[in-house]
Amino acid sequence: MKAIPSSTSGPLQGIRILDMATVVAAPFAATLCGDMGAEVTKLELPDGSDTLRHMLPVMGQHSLFWKVTNRGKRGITLDVRKPEGRALLLKMLPRFDVLVENFRTGTLDRWGLDLQTLHAHNPELIVLRLTGFGQTGPYARRPGFARIFEAMSGFAHLTGESGRSPQHMNYPLGDVISGLFGAFSIATALTARARSTSQAPRGCEIDLAATEALMRMLDPLPAEYQHQQIVRERTGARATYSALSNIFATKDGQWLTIVGTSGTAYRRIFDAIGRADLLDGDRLASSASRLQHSNEVDGIVADWCLSLPLAEIQDILTRHEVPHSKVYSIEDVVADPHVQARNALIQLPDPDLGYLAAPCVVPRFSNHTPVTPRSGPGVGEHNEEVFGEIGVGTEELARLKSLGIV
């Protein structure tokens, strides 16, 4: 299959991003911007040693993770640690609006690519630095990975069964959440730059600490601890901030989540299971009183779910307009008629594997229909195209390649 160029239509059309980050978090931020129409160029070392290129799942020599996470990008190779590589990067820089990097704090400075140098070559440049702990503080130079962010933010402390080990989910959640914050940060900085009327240079540095991004998701916990001395703990699937909210087993061995956070939804649950008598009086009238009786109420609903197969439970709950869902595997997601009706999964054209299923562009805009991006680029796939834009000819490119610079 011939490589299909990325679309550059969309809300961020005309924005050019140079993504020199590695693995998942920061590259995901750039990919989200690419989904919105930005032109993203992926820069990596000539040896293709980015960890994501070798992370499972792999088909032959091709990492599915790499291909999907870096979708829609042009790919170049450049060793910016070498003087000629650094010079080429600085020559390219005026062509870009945003530079994305995730090296340990101080690394680019060591390579002669400190912020002052970057802005000397492009005063309008927005630099996103996505690191584990930020550009300042005693942990600034520590390495960071998704599970570290999840552990240090307090997120993992909430995940798992009561009295048992904290849990990480089988996916780098800390990376993708910080990547979301990264894309939001880029869009925010671009908006501020566009609105600025100042004659001064409008470039800026974005200091995004992934641990802080995870902390930001746990909104009320600091106040809860400050004023009530509560350390929220693991409770399995049960919520301690509203009731009823839990996961229940069915007679045929499936799992179902049921939510009755509001008073209306709560009443519908007990109407559905034929226990409207539990709603009489004040005992379960308020959110606080319902939480006090969580064990009792969850037990009643659990027994009811165990007495019926999933399909029958869903039919009853749907008729009573009770919020619920089977706990989906990816197999269930792919088969779901709503997912199919909205084309929530798309097929990325790929020159090696044909097509790759992937989540659609999110969100949807009424005035724009996104073009399906192609999968992530091969090592140095667009070297001639991108370096040609700054006047590097074929012979010079061959020389640079022989020196391990590209």
Residue 388 belongs to some domain of the structure: yes
Same-domain status, 32 and 115: yes
- Domain of residue 319, CATH code: 3.30.1540
Same-domain status, 173 and 270: no
Closest CA to 133 of 124, 125, 143: 143
Confidence at residue 282, expressed as pLDDT on a 0 to 100 scale: 78
Do 405 and 98 form a contact (C-beta atoms < 8 A)? Answer: no
| Burial of 42 from C-beta contacts in 10 A (0-12 / 13-18 / 19+) | buried
pLDDT per position as a tens digit, 291-301: 888 899 899 99
Residue 230 belongs to some domain of the structure: no
Closest CA to 18 of 91, 107, 112, 81: 91
Residue 226 belongs to some domain of the structure: no
| Burial of 243 from C-beta contacts in 10 A (0-12 / 13-18 / 19+) | buried
Cα(403)–Cα(393) distance, integer angstroms: 16
Confidence at residue 262, expressed as pLDDT on a 0 to 100 scale: 83
| Burial of 138 from C-beta contacts in 10 A (0-12 / 13-18 / 19+) | exposed
Collect all residues with Cβ–Cβ distance below 8 Å to 216 and sequence separation of at least 6.
181
Q: Output the average pLDDT for the chain.
A: 95
**Model confidence at 38, in pLDDT bands (50, 70, 90)?**
very high
Same-domain status, 321 and 350: no
Does residue 7 carry a pLDDT above 80?
A: no
Confidence at residue 287, expressed as pLDDT on a 0 to 100 scale: 80
Same-domain status, 358 and 296: no
pLDDT per position as a tens digit, 266-288: 899 999 999 988 888 778 778 88
Same-domain status, 37 and 170: yes
Domain that holds residue 260: 245-249+255-326
Residue 5 belongs to some domain of the structure: no
Same-domain status, 260 and 375: no
Same-domain status, 356 and 269: no
pLDDT per position as a tens digit, 83-111: 999 999 999 999 999 999 999 999 999 99
Same-domain status, 210 and 301: no
Residue 331 belongs to some domain of the structure: no
List residues bridging with 126 in a β-sheet: 98, 204
Mean pLDDT throughout 170-179? 97
Annotated catalytic residues are 175
Does residue 27 carry a pLDDT above 80?
A: yes
Confidence at residue 252, expressed as pLDDT on a 0 to 100 scale: 98
Residue 292 belongs to some domain of the structure: yes
Confidence at residue 279, expressed as pLDDT on a 0 to 100 scale: 81
Residue 49 belongs to some domain of the structure: yes
Same-domain status, 115 and 263: no
Q: In the numeric block, which tokens belong to residue 181?
A: 């914050």
Same-domain status, 272 and 352: no
Q: In the numeric block, which tokens belong to residue 68?
A: 């999907």
Where does a domain end: 326, 356, 377? 326
Does residue 4 carry a pLDDT above 80?
A: no
- Domain of residue 172, CATH code: 3.40.50.10540
Same-domain status, 307 and 352: no
Same-domain status, 72 and 207: yes
Where does a domain end: 326, 350, 376? 326
Residue 310 belongs to some domain of the structure: yes
Where does a domain end: 274, 303, 326? 326
Count: domains in the chain:
2
| Percentage of the chain modeled with pLDDT above 90 | 88
Do 44 and 23 form a contact (C-beta atoms < 8 A)? Answer: no
